[in-house]
Amino acid sequence: MHIVLLKHFAFDDASVILAWAEQEGCQTTVLFPPDGIALPRMDDFDWLIILGGPMSAYDKEDWLQQEKRFIRSAVDHGKHVLGICLGAQMLAEALGGKVYRNEQKEIGWHPVTRTRAAHRLFEDVPASFHSFHWHGDCFDLPDGALSLAYSDACRHQAFAYGERVLGLQFHLETTPSCLAMMLDRWQDELSDAPFIQTADRIRQEHTAVRSRSASCGTFSTVSRPFAR
């Protein structure tokens, strides 16, 4: 299986995903759409992974429009598609949903709860778990999408579209080095708000969550069904 992985900020760390792909015998190509690079042909890959970023899915930059068309084409061609945070928002918009500012920013380690809906791409995920979040936008589900999870701050934390497409608002792939860089570069976003934790709390929770339940904090939890 050949994976195309799209990154949107330079210090994003995809090492968890790349390690999993290597373990599964997958070839991975990492691309950076904000540079205006040409995206591959549909015949050149099997699985598309779209990572997060500090921009919004509804911004007007040409590369964002190009990427959303590419995402929609990947879905239409029957590719496996996984969108994470910004990636999930672009995926939702590409499929006809609306992306907009959420009432509350959600930053830090917060609980996620599964809905009663069942889907094979979410079958290994616990009924409730803590995950890392860093987002201010949310989305309405596209027609035909299945809501799979929610949180107190955001009613759509995960959705499936058909049998091969999954969107996640939360981050299972965050590494300690990327987390440290985010806290350094984006510390101005850590305001006093109901669903925004302090930098110290985020660091403490990171240690606690990793020791409490590794299965909830690893990319392989949701990626395993894609490889079947």
| Catalytic residue (one of 85, 138, 154, 178) | 85
110 in catalytic set: no
Strand 47-50 versus strand 2-6 pairing type: parallel
Residue 10, both tokens? 């330079």
154 in catalytic set: no
Torsion-angle region of 174 (φ positive above 0: left; ψ -120 to 50: alpha; else: beta) = beta
Can you tell me whether residue 16 is helix, strand or coil?
A: helix
| Catalytic residue (one of 80, 106, 173, 178) | 173
CA distance 204 to 206: 5
Can you tell me whether residue 153 is helix, strand or coil?
A: coil
135 in catalytic set: no
DSSP string, 165-225: EEEESSBS---HHHHHHHHHHTGGG--SBTTB--HHHHHHHHHHHHHH-GGGGSTHHHHGG
CA distances (Å), origin 131, targets 38, 95, 143, 174, 210: 33, 25, 27, 9, 10
| Catalytic residue (one of 67, 171, 178, 206) | 171
Residues with a known catalytic role: 85, 171, 173
